Structure 1
Amino acid sequence: MQARYTGRLRLEAVGPELADDLFRLHQDPGIARWYGAWTAEDALRTATEMGRSWHSDGAHKWLAYDRADGVLIGRGGLSRTRDGQWELGWAVRESLWGRGYATEIGRAGLEFAWGRAGRVTGHLVHRSPQRTVASRHGAARVPVRP
């Protein structure tokens, strides 16, 4: 998958080759409080599953890196819920909260969803500790337009 770019971020589709960065991200205290403690094996398994979803569904999560210096910022994007809906989610390193990164990642996810309307159908939901960002995007239960 090709990288996507926002004003400040480079978004890389998560697959097994990014498992180490995914593991590092989930060691962040703010992210670990939400998702629990991850092992390197958890990160590899999850990154592999995300990579499969990119190939089968055409969408899943990205790792977000600063475009200027390559620093790992967070992750976000779309994923399928167990009931087949699309979920918009993000997680940003706690030291970077309040700088608009969640908004930037969330906006990229919505733009990607709308741009792939032929594949992304149903409802788009969110489950994020950063509810104010989600509500700014209107992501509570947003029907995805065909």
Structure 2
Amino acid sequence: MAPAEGTDPVLTDRLLLTPIGIEHSDDLERLYSDPLVDHWTGPWTPLDVRAWAQDMADRWASDGVGKWVAHDRSDGTLVGRGGLSRVVLGDKTVLEVGWVVRDELTGRGYASEIGRAALGWAATFFPDFPVVAFTEVHNLASVAVMRRLGLESSGVIYREGLVEGQPGLHARAPFALYRQVPTDRASP
């Protein structure tokens, strides 16, 4: 269900997706302290989390787009976060869809649910922006979600990230790039 305004919460079958603000810092600290989440996104200090949450609030205000914190609609449990960010890819501004789900909740379809909500939101509020997703080439779980969302493989880009079998961050890590198939190319 699309919100009436771009910054309204979004409801999916199981989730309440709320634009991230500084008030979500405690939830985000909990999320980023999960070992698997930390592996792909960390390390995070409480100060880092607060700064990131403030940056998300600022992006919602300036760009009209950002990430959501995801809670279970039935009991309010923190599920993760996800949504969209404006990024420059090559010489073009695009919307990047992404997600992070708490370790104990992976494998239950939440990442796909967040991704579908983001794609629907983008179609409603930014229909002329291309949508992409990218992740380190060895993050097979995220690549699988991209495929489930109907995104199309578009090669490899290089940016700061993890390289399989090598410790630490690397300036030119390979990332699998996926793009949303334009509707005029989608099958009927």
Task: Tell me the TM-score normalised to structure 2 length.
Answer: 0.71
CA positional deviation for 1:62? 0.3
The residue correspondences of 1:67-106 to structure 2 (distance < 5 A) are 67-83=73-89, 84-106=93-115
User: For the structure 1 residues 45 and 144, does the alpha-carbon distance in structure 2 shift closer, same or farther, using more than 3 Å as the test?
Assistant: farther
Amino acid across the alignment from 1:116: F
Counterpart for residue 10 of structure 1: 16
1:127 corresponds to 2:134: yes
1:117–1:144 contact (8 Å) kept in structure 2:
no
Q: Which amino acid in structure 1 is aligned with residue 145 of structure 2?
A: V
The reply to whether residue 142 of structure 1 matches residue 180 of structure 2 is yes
Letter in 2 for 1:134: M
Distance 1:71 1:65 in 2: 5
Higher strand share: 2
- Offset of residue 143 of structure 1: 5.9
Distance 1:144 1:59 in 2: 20
Cα gap change, 1:41 to 1:133, in 2 (>3 Å): same
- Identical-residue share of aligned pairs (%): 43
Please give the root-mean-square deviation of Cα atoms over the aligned residues, in Å.
1.6
Give the distance between the partners of 1:52 and 1:62, measured in 2 at CA. 13
Distance in 1 between residues matched to 2:121 and 2:149, nearest whole Å: 14
Return 5-14 or 127-136, whichever deviates more: 127-136
Equivalent positions of 1:104-123 (< 5 A) are 104-117=113-126, 121=129, 123=130
Q: Deviations over 1:103-132 (max 9, x none)?
A: 1100000000000135x51x2111243211
Q: Distance between the aligned counterparts of 1:35 and 1:141, measured in 2?
A: 22
**Which residue among 60, 70, 73 is the counterpart of 2:66?**
60
Structure 1 residue runs of 5 or longer lacking an equivalent are none
Report the 3-state secondary structure (helix = DSSP H, G, I; strand = E; otherwise coil) of the residue aligned with 1:79: strand
1:46: which partner in 2?
52
Cα 1:109–1:137, aligned 2, differ >3 Å: closer, same or farther? same
8 Å CA contact 2:28–2:49 kept in 1: the answer is yes
Over alpha carbons, which structure has the higher Rg?
2
Say if 2:81 and 2:99, in contact at 8 Å, map to a contact too: yes
User: What's the TM-score, normalizing by structure 1?
Assistant: 0.90
Alpha-carbon distance in structure 2 between the residues aligned to 1:124 and 1:111? 11
Distance (whole Å) between structure 2 residues aligned to residue 23 and residue 81 of structure 1: 24
Moved over 3 A (4+): none
- Aligned partners of 1:5 and 1:76: how far apart in 2? 13
How many pairs align? 143
SS of residue in 1 equivalent to 2:74:
coil
